[in-house]
Chains A and B, each alone.
Chain A
């Protein structure tokens, strides 16, 4: 369970560029939740993710993951329990190293001086075959030679190779072509549901925000302005969402991008 209590973050405080990115946000995520997050640009979606994974330490508030207070923990310590995928498929893998070596680092088995064993290789092969991209037969190829979609699928595999307590997906299919995006999203759904991974996903596609997962939150001005799940959520349409946004925030949502984007 992830508990976020009243976190705030202001970038460039005291300067002309000062920006309140998170304004006292609280959120409780239950085990097994798959929450989709929507909101206009600058609403604080990515900032929320960066606060959770420890890219920066919040100005105030508390973040507790599975009973452990991680508010002040550095990012690489939190990474043990938190997996993350970005929009840019290049960010999650080391291009100059082979698929096998990337997976070995993500799996993190054995001590510092341990090497990749035959058993590891078999395990990686088995996992890669789930992707159905023929990567299992190219384990000694450098990752830099893979396409964006293949790299993102591999990053997904790496982020979930040890079941994380929390998986953060920040528009992870937005930079891929529609067919590949569809495939990576299908893979995400399969892996998340089969392993029962608690997951937060930012998307700009309102339809998939409603179709996927069990709960949807809408963000604006660094806070959550709408939180829906269960029966209420199942009755909502994209239209309802747009109206809701206008009611609460008093502005019109940049709906073209949200309705049209994949």
Chain B
């Protein structure tokens, strides 16, 4: 048996999993910590990809990263502002921003729904050339992504144990308690969403630069895929300390990608990806609920037997 294709498949899954894990870490902050399901994630991912690509096309491969993240911060701020200051429900404000971002993303890409980066210098191509002929040849993409993920995990873990980080966690837990600690929950919600969306945009930017193209659909379904990964990670790592849970989120993203790649090998059509992620989210969220209902259902069934 030839295992070479499996190794390259594994490496690709690892790279894609690690890139999407940045979005999973964003949801770890907004969904698990702040208790806000940020439905602007899809649009923000595409925004990061579009802004990153456009800045790279202008000849600034390094600047593309902070530029994409800044765009994410702005997007997160708008989502947060709508739900804290404008009286719009948090789910709805995410959907509204997501819809608006579709137009903005096409505008950013210069009235086009597709950008090609084949001949453009990006952070990945810069190091690919430098590593040519050395032992790292062919591994630079993976190393760059690993560094980015490690940086985000460390920053997130450190941040969540600061006073501001604690306040953000408490906002998702009991906003009244945050107010009685003389902290404005509007401030913590906005800060949390800005940081989370910066990570989402970073994720989109890195995917665009690695696959050397952006299209307007690059972010479609990201929120569900990231949620699925988050919940897979939780199943593996439980509800331990923050750094452990953050690593769990990344592992979840990688496992998701590997399982998906294997399914493709077994002739599953590629378009099934999104259905699979939906089913995983359904099982992960409703599973514990259904499990808690089992005793009641059993009881009713038994009572029915006795009566008949």
Contact = CB atoms under 8 A, between A and B. Distances in A.
Given A112-B163, A115-B162, A116-B161, A79 B170 contact: no
B177 A105 contact: yes
Given A79-B179, A84-B180, A105-B183, A94 B174 contact: yes
Interface of B is mostly: helix
Given A75-B179, A76-B183, A97-B169, A112 B174 contact: no
Contacts of A94: 169-170, 173-174, 177-178
Nearest to A82: B180
A92 B179 CA distance: 10
Given A84-B180, A105-B183, A93 B174 contact: yes
B169 A96 contact: yes
Interface residues of A, number: 31
Interface of A: 74-77, 79-80, 83-84, 91-97, 101-102, 104-106, 108-116, 158-159
A102 B163 CA distance: 11
B165 to A, nearest CB: 9
Given A94-B173, A95-B173, A97-B169, A105 B178 contact: yes
Contacts of A91: 174, 176-177
17 contacts: A76-B180, A76-B182, A76-B184, A77-B182, A79-B179, A94-B174, A97-B170, A97-B173, A102-B170, A102-B177, A104-B163, A105-B183, A111-B163, A112-B163, A114-B163, A115-B163, A158-B181
Contacts of B170: 94, 97, 101-102, 105
A101 B167 CA distance: 9
Nearest to A53: B180
A25 to B, nearest CB: 23
State which size class the interface on B falls in: 20 to 34
A111 to B, nearest CB: 7
B180 A79 contact: yes
A116 B167 CA distance: 13
Contact of B181 (A79, A95, A112): A79
Contact of B163 (A74, A110, A159): A110
